[in-house]
Amino acid sequence: MEASKVIHAFYTDDEVLLDAVKEVKAAHHHIEEVFCPFPVHGLDKAMGLAPTRIAITAFFYGITGLAFAIWMTNYIMIEDWPMDIGGKPSFSWIENMPSFVPIIFELTVFFAAHLMVITFYMRSRIWPFKDAENPDPRTTDDHFLMEIPVNNNEEALVSLLAKTGAVEINIVDKH
């Protein structure tokens, strides 16, 4: 695997970073990644990232939980072990549905939340005991880092980044 050079441009203000990302994208440079200590509103749009589809998966996971809850309440309370509770016999699921609403709601939320978190971790490739991929520990405290690959345009890129307000510019080998 061949090492490639990248430029790490550090910023200390989120608004300056956002403006810098817009300028770098306007100059037709590819931004590999931006590391931030907190979410920056509008950064994904400025970088040109596609919108997330996690909400769509959450909807389908909720539908799965709803279907499971309906099947489970019907099987347990109507088919497998029907009970006469308070003089209300279990003849059909629809007659007893109001008493199943809390169970149905909780299982819908449970499935949506847990499967969405698992999907997020799998999509982000965040596994248990995985080493952090953060290139500089300052980005977890008070600095923002923009990582840009160098493609024989090192001088032009460094001067552009200096104009955008970068407080530190480093050229490193990425393995």
Structural domain for 117, as ranges: 54-123
Inside any domain, residue 128: no
- Are 21 and 61 members of one domain? no
What is the tens place of the pLDDT at every residue in 59-110? 999 999 999 999 999 999 888 888 777 777 777 888 888 889 999 999 999 9
- Are 19 and 66 members of one domain? no
> How far is it, in rounded angstroms, from Cα 144 to Cα 138?
8
- Are 116 and 141 members of one domain? no
Query: Torsion-angle region of residue 165: left (phi > 0), alpha (psi -120 to 50) or beta?
Result: left
pLDDT at res. 1: 42
Beta-carbon contacts of residue 27 (< 8 Å; ≥ 6 apart): 160
Count of domains observed in the chain: 2
pLDDT at res. 56: 94
Residue reference for tokens 């072990």: 81
> How far is it, in rounded angstroms, from Cα 166 to Cα 175?
24
What distances in angstroms separate CA 149 from CA 7, 75, 117, 134, one per listed residue?
6, 58, 31, 16
- Are 116 and 83 members of one domain? yes
Put the strands of the sheet holding 168-174 in their side by side order: 33-35, 144-149, 4-11, 168-174
